[in-house]
Structure 1
Amino acid sequence: MTKKIKIQIFPDGTIQTEIQGIKGKRCTEYIHILEELLEAEAVDSNYTPEFHETETVKITEKQEQRIRER
């Protein structure tokens, strides 16, 4: 799935965002970024089923070698 951030701004100034395509707790990292970009503060969070999933990452041999070299 493609990673997306949907942002809705309502007439009363309320902002609603939805993060799609990012599994697990990594999506919460975007809350801080959005707060800074939108000059807003998160007051409520609802988690999608993706939040409770585990992301699978495929590491190639070259990436694995770079990790070992560090």
Structure 2
Amino acid sequence: MSSSKQIRVRIFPDGQIKADVIGVKGKACTDYMDVLAELLDAEIIDSDYTAEYYETEQVEIQQLQHSNQIKNS
């Protein structure tokens, strides 16, 4: 079961922006922050990593089994 992925953004009166990536495990969270910084034309000056950063994303892989049958004439 996968959790929802969210970016929580807070903008302070002094113009400072704080963003938290929620529901993304591992280093992929930094990709979300890079996109957000680009959209806001902002620079990331400090990062704190949550426990999710140090976890690994579980990926479900489904393997399909295919059998070939050769018919002799």
TM-score range, shorter chain: 0.7 to 0.9
Which ranges of 4 or more aligned residues in structure 1 deviate by more than 3 Å? Answer: none
- TM-score, length basis structure 1: 0.82
> Please, which of 6, 19, 24 is the counterpart of residue 8 of structure 2?
6
Partner of 1:39: 41
| Other structure's SS at 2:27 match | helix
Offset at residue 32 of structure 1 (A): 1.3
SS of aligned partner of 2:34: helix
CA–CA distance in structure 1, aligned partners of residues 61 and 30 of structure 2 = 23
Displacement of 1:57 after TM fit? Answer: 0.3
Residue number among 19, 24, 28 corresponding to 2:26 in the alignment: 24
> Which of 46, 53, 58 is the equivalent residue of 1:51?
53
Percent identical residues: 50
Tell me the amino acid that sits aligned with residue 31 of structure 2.
E
CA RMSD across the alignment = 1.1
Shift of 1:2: 1.3
Flag the structure with larger Rg.
Answer: 2
More helix by share: 1
Give 5+ residue unaligned stretches, structure 2: 65-73
Q: Secondary structure of the equivalent of 1:34?
A: helix
